[in-house]
Chains A and B, each alone.
Chain A
């Protein structure tokens, strides 16, 4: 049985690409394949426009990665850990190493703990060091697998700002996460995986447009309001917590304004009215199902 199958991901240059999926859906397996850590049984892929895995030596130096959590040597300090990885591959010029390490540590807010042993780091600090390692050299692409895992709210916020900064410098960012709000806040594009298959991908706007908007009104008499909206020809009329909502067909004859007028003319007091786009969460649940249990 294949862990992932038929994943036709296209990550546009310069995008902040959110990679979504429930636990066990194959996100990390896909990332490991992208980076050449595991080989697919069939299929091809390219990284920064180069055929992989043949071009790994040429492409990977331009890629910063945080895969399945940080991993460092517990007996070394944060700074020594970064130096060790910097020395282990191409483009790690010794002359600039100290300055680059200082810069990366400052960028993730770890300067004060740079000399502590990694063993003594908290989960959030470890995550920050992993990010620092990914930022040690100029990158065209950052692959970040759940970068804010274990971080406090301030840390999460800083990382979000960091991602925005990096993206505005032109770095393509591939962000795997199950925190939908996070993806919604920073990403321009997204893809959704479940059970090893890619279910949808595109710009965030396109993905959202796939789900239809709803009109939601707060009224004094929900039953009557629901009746009026139903007679207008709206589908999926629902009453919840004294509010009435119904689906608005895109480009259909009935808009929010028309609903409002019909309600007022029908003698219903309207206290609030809103057009609601489906959230990424609604979309995610629609694509991957409601179930709480891991797929396999």
Chain B
């Protein structure tokens, strides 16, 4: 059933378009850098100033640009649609009488959202690597602490960064799925989830709310940059992933409690 669900998700036009757009974001970044000759050091989003020296950085710059809003938005769309989308089509009643099993359906949907999150981040990284390699020289990567890694190591770290970015979206994905079990309107679930992303970003930018910052699912979204240090400092990444796990447990349990007991009237 899981394979069928994955197939079902990735054959949807809207999902394919999202992935293609995510792939194109770092490509556009790289083209812009190429055309403008690149921003001078110290300006623009981190990693962007290094793209012209080494194409690998196009992938990292792409992730940095996409993580605050674009990636969370696409994850909010997929997670918000997961249950509410089936409910609004009426297909939920036929899945449940099939019987797919409520718990099994929820788990399968959750797993496909996980796969989508990682695939979305990897699409950005792959787009960046492809465009960077096409437009700029590639070579050993100079990390944030000044030491350089071999090209293969650099690419490996970039892809690992993408996987971590994908994983750090899972807290949001869990919230989105919970919202999706609450209402029958997929658009409503998407909007609420995307609204929570904006709210988290706003709260994160207000210094007076600093006490809440470490608990925001978006707070450590940029921690993947630590992978380019030598040695890698895992503290931020570990904290981020633990926080995401906490969100997944809490909202996963809430989604389970809601979905296994609700009356399906749609």
B134 at the interface (CB under 8 A from A): no
B249 at the interface (CB under 8 A from A): no
A72 touches B99 (CB 8 A): no
B214 at the interface (CB under 8 A from A): no
B95 touches A75 (CB 8 A): no
> Which residues of chain B are near A57, meaning CB under 8 Å?
99, 101
A38 at the interface (CB under 8 A from B): yes
A213 at the interface (CB under 8 A from B): no
Interface string of B81-111 (1 = CB under 8 A from A): 0000000011101111111110001000000
A84 touches B8 (CB 8 A): yes
B99 touches A60 (CB 8 A): yes
Minimum distance in angstroms from A208 CB to a CB of chain B: 33
CB-contact partner of A73 in B91, B93, B261, B264, under 8 A: B91
Minimum distance in angstroms from A71 CB to a CB of chain B: 3
Which secondary structure dominates where chain A touches chain B? loop
B264 touches A88 (CB 8 A): no
A38 touches B263 (CB 8 A): yes
A61 at the interface (CB under 8 A from B): yes
A35 touches B94 (CB 8 A): no
Which among B93, B94, B96 has the highest number of chain A CB atoms within 10 Å? B94
Known contacts A38-B264, A87-B1, A89-B1: A67-B91 contact under CB 8 Å? no
B98 touches A37 (CB 8 A): no
CB-contact partner of A65 in B4, B5, B97, B105, under 8 A: B97
> Which residues of chain B are near A85, meaning CB under 8 Å?
94-95, 98
Interface residues of A in 6-58 (CB under 8 A from B): 32, 35-39, 56-57
Interface string of B155-189 (1 = CB under 8 A from A): 00000000000000000000000000000000000
A56 to B103, CA, bound (A): 13
B94 touches A71 (CB 8 A): yes
B12 touches A75 (CB 8 A): yes
A37 touches B94 (CB 8 A): no
A32 touches B264 (CB 8 A): yes
CB-contact partner of B99 in A67, A87, A89, under 8 A: A89
> Which residues of chain A are near B89, meaning CB under 8 Å?
71-74
> Which residues of chain B are near A72, meaning CB under 8 Å?
89, 91
B264 touches A37 (CB 8 A): yes
B100 touches A88 (CB 8 A): yes
Which among A38, A75, A84 has the highest number of chain B CB atoms within 10 Å? A84
Which secondary structure dominates where chain B touches chain A? helix
B100 touches A38 (CB 8 A): no
B13 at the interface (CB under 8 A from A): yes
> Which residues of chain A are near B35, meaning CB under 8 Å?
none
CB-contact partner of A36 in B5, B8, B96, B105, under 8 A: B96
Who on chain A is nearest to B88 by CB? A71
CB-contact partner of A133 in B94, B96, B261, B263, under 8 A: B94
> Which residues of chain A are near B17, meaning CB under 8 Å?
none
Instruction: Count how many chain A residues have C-beta atoms less than 8 Å from C-beta atoms of the other chain.
Output: 27
Minimum distance in angstroms from A140 CB to a CB of chain B: 14
A75 to B96, CA, bound (A): 21
A202 at the interface (CB under 8 A from B): no
A63 at the interface (CB under 8 A from B): yes
CB-contact partner of A88 in B1, B93, B261, B265, under 8 A: B1
Who on chain A is nearest to B3 by CB? A87
> Which residues of chain B are near A36, meaning CB under 8 Å?
96-97, 99
Minimum distance in angstroms from B61 CB to a CB of chain A: 34
A88 touches B97 (CB 8 A): no
A60 to B104, CA, bound (A): 15
A67 to B105, CA, bound (A): 19
A68 to B99, CA, bound (A): 17
Known contacts A65-B97, A89-B100: A71-B263 contact under CB 8 Å? no
A124 at the interface (CB under 8 A from B): no
A69 at the interface (CB under 8 A from B): yes
B263 touches A63 (CB 8 A): no
A36 to B93, CA, bound (A): 10
Please give the residue numbers on chain A whose beta carbons come within 8 Å of chain B beta carbons, in ascending order. 32, 35-39, 56-57, 60-61, 63, 65, 67-69, 71-75, 84-85, 87-90, 133
Known A37-B96, A39-B263, A88-B105; 13 more pairs at CB < 8 Å: A35-B93, A36-B96, A37-B93, A38-B263, A38-B264, A60-B99, A61-B99, A71-B94, A87-B1, A87-B4, A88-B4, A89-B99, A89-B101
14 contacts between A and B (CB under 8 A): A32-B265, A35-B96, A36-B96, A36-B99, A37-B97, A37-B263, A38-B263, A38-B265, A67-B93, A67-B94, A71-B94, A74-B89, A85-B94, A88-B95
Please give the residue numbers on chain B whose beta carbons come within 8 Å of chain A beta carbons, in ascending order. 1, 4-5, 8, 12-13, 89-91, 93-101, 105, 261, 263-265
Nearest 10 CB-CB pairings of A with B: A71-B90, A89-B98, A87-B4, A38-B263, A60-B99, A37-B264, A88-B100, A35-B97, A65-B97, A71-B91
